[in-house]
Amino acid sequence: MTAPSGRPASVQRRLRGLIFTFVLLAVLILAAAFSLLIRYNSRYKDLMYNVTTASEFNQDFKASIDLKMYYYVIESQYSEGLPLEEVRSAQQLARDLLSTTTEKDSRTAISSVLSLCQNLEEKIYQLRDTGSYDQRQTQLENNIYVLTSLIQEYMYNYLYYEAARLNALQSQTGRQLVADFLLIAAVTGLLVLFFTWRAARLGRSITRPIAALCARVEGIDSGELEERQPIQAEEYEIRTLSEGFERMVGRLDRQIQETSRNQESLRRTELALIQAQVSPHFLYNTMDTIIWLIEAEKTQEAVEMVSSLSSFFRHSLSRGRDVITLGEEEEHVRSYLQIQQVRYKDIMRYTINLAPELGDVLIPKLTLQPLVENALYHGVKLKRGPGHIYVVGRAEGEDILLQVTDDGVGMSPERLEELRSALDRGERVGFGLSTVHERVRLFFGPPYGLSISSQQGVGTTISVRIPRRKEGAL
């Protein structure tokens, strides 16, 4: 898969395409399942409403109406008057049910209930207007009792029809839902297999060139510094990383040869060799972490780490310069810390606060990164619990002061004095601190260089003092 311009597609773009396709199909499947549920729920809800509403019909409707009418006819002291309100309530109930009922038998039954209730209301008024006691008794027996009996019978018939239909619908719906969801499950399973295959293919297209880069790093670690053909990869980031890496190796190889030809001082040769060996180890560990992230399906974090690593090496190259601006050094340190934070996210936090006006000040390349690495591996990493690394810089008169502080384990007074003495004597101790100290003094001379302060159990601060010089001053 290539981008429109002909260059390989980026990992991020391929991931976005895969995720978008997966989300779209997942939404379609969920929409289909949701529409099925809505359809079945609507049918079930109507029937349940009818059955529930019909159940609200007074089960003692006949007995209640008959008794109240009987008290009314005999003019009993218990008479509450004509039960017109109960008859009208039954009529309203029948109208509500008729508006939601679709089955023929059920509609016939509820229509009969409505008609009989209307007839019952008329017969009640007729009985009220009859003066003769005997005629009232006759109307009570032949009209009221017969109508209430029929109303109750038809209401029971309606309830029976709707309940039977509800039961049939439940059985039918259950079978249909099982069939529909089996189909959805089958389609989902096929989609899962498809996306698993696509994800595995994408993973292989990333892990294989990264494994090749790791092998290349191992070769460089063994001394194979000749520039080679970049690794061919489908992903733009990996190809860019490989090309930049080979350019870096080529430049590093040429620099070593030039240094050897020019017979520079032993100290500068040793510093160049140290610089040549730091990057391969760091790159090997980083590549190993990227492979782990991809195998753990944390592809987005892997993409971000590859981008940070690419930025790290771009600033490491610095177009072959030994002196860069503080702004470039800041970006280099930030890339390094972003990479390390992926590996040590549970224990490491960092803050970079360099004065903006110092961004164009020139410093030796790889001045801050070794100090940050020292703070991580010999301060924060040895601490039990999370730690923080602070990188700050400010102007002090004609100089600038850069400080790398950690709240790690710190140092004992004896160890602190040993390091200070070693820096003064130029001895190679102290986790690469002497390398930075010597390089600063080679460029600027005394009194510039490193100073160390530390307290056991509290943390360590390493300060670098250099003159405030800009482009053209060195």
Domain segments of the chain as ranges? 11-191, 348-474
Q: What is the mean pLDDT of residues 395-410?
A: 93
Quick one: pLDDT at residue 272?
A: 47
CATH of 348-474, one of 1.20.140.10, 3.30.565.10, 3.30.420.40, 3.30.465.10: 3.30.565.10
Residue 312 has pLDDT above 80, yes or no: no
Q: What is the mean pLDDT of residues 19-37?
A: 73
* Lowest-confidence region among 11-15, 166-170, 187-191, 382-386: 11-15
Nearest partner of 42 among 100, 108, 98, 93, judged by Cα: 100
3-class DSSP state of 284: helix
Pick from 7-16, 353-362, 418-427 the range whose average pLDDT is largest: 353-362
Instruction: Kindly tell me the burial class for residue 89, based on how many C-beta atoms sit within 10 Å of its own C-beta (0-12, 13-18, 19 or more).
Output: middle
Quick one: pLDDT at residue 106?
A: 86
- 3-state helix vs strand vs coil in the chain, percent to 5: 70, 10, 20
Label residue 351 by pLDDT band (50, 70, 90): very high
More confident residue, 262 or 38: 38
Q: What is the mean pLDDT of residues 259-284?
A: 50
Q: What is the mean pLDDT of residues 242-269?
A: 62
pLDDT tens for 43-79 read 667 667 777 776 667 567 888 888 888 888 888 888 8
Quick one: pLDDT at residue 407?
A: 93
pLDDT tens for 283-294 read 777 777 778 778
Is it true that the peptide bond before 4 is cis, omega within 30 degrees of 0?
no
Label residue 403 by pLDDT band (50, 70, 90): very high
pTM of the model: 0.43
Q: What is the mean pLDDT of residues 255-279?
A: 50
Q: What is the mean pLDDT of residues 436-449?
A: 83
Q: What is the mean pLDDT of residues 247-254?
A: 74
Quick one: pLDDT at residue 250?
A: 73
More confident residue, 354 or 55: 354
- CATH numeric code, 11-191: 1.20.120
pLDDT tens for 110-141 read 899 889 989 988 988 998 888 888 898 898 88
Write down the mean pLDDT value for the chain.
78
Quick one: pLDDT at residue 184?
A: 75
* Lowest-confidence region among 214-218, 221-225, 443-447: 221-225
Residue 147 has pLDDT above 60, yes or no: yes
Residue 220 has pLDDT above 80, yes or no: no
State which amino acid sits at residue 64.
S
Residue 8 has pLDDT above 60, yes or no: no
**Which run of H or E residues covers position 395?**
strand 387-396
Q: What is the mean pLDDT of residues 243-269?
A: 62
- 355-360 — which CB contacts under 8 Å span 24+ positions? 355/393, 355/394, 355/395, 357/395, 358/326, 358/393, 358/394, 358/395, 358/400, 358/468, 359/325, 359/326, 359/327, 359/330, 360/325, 360/326, 360/327, 360/470, 360/471
Which tokens go with 260? 């050897």
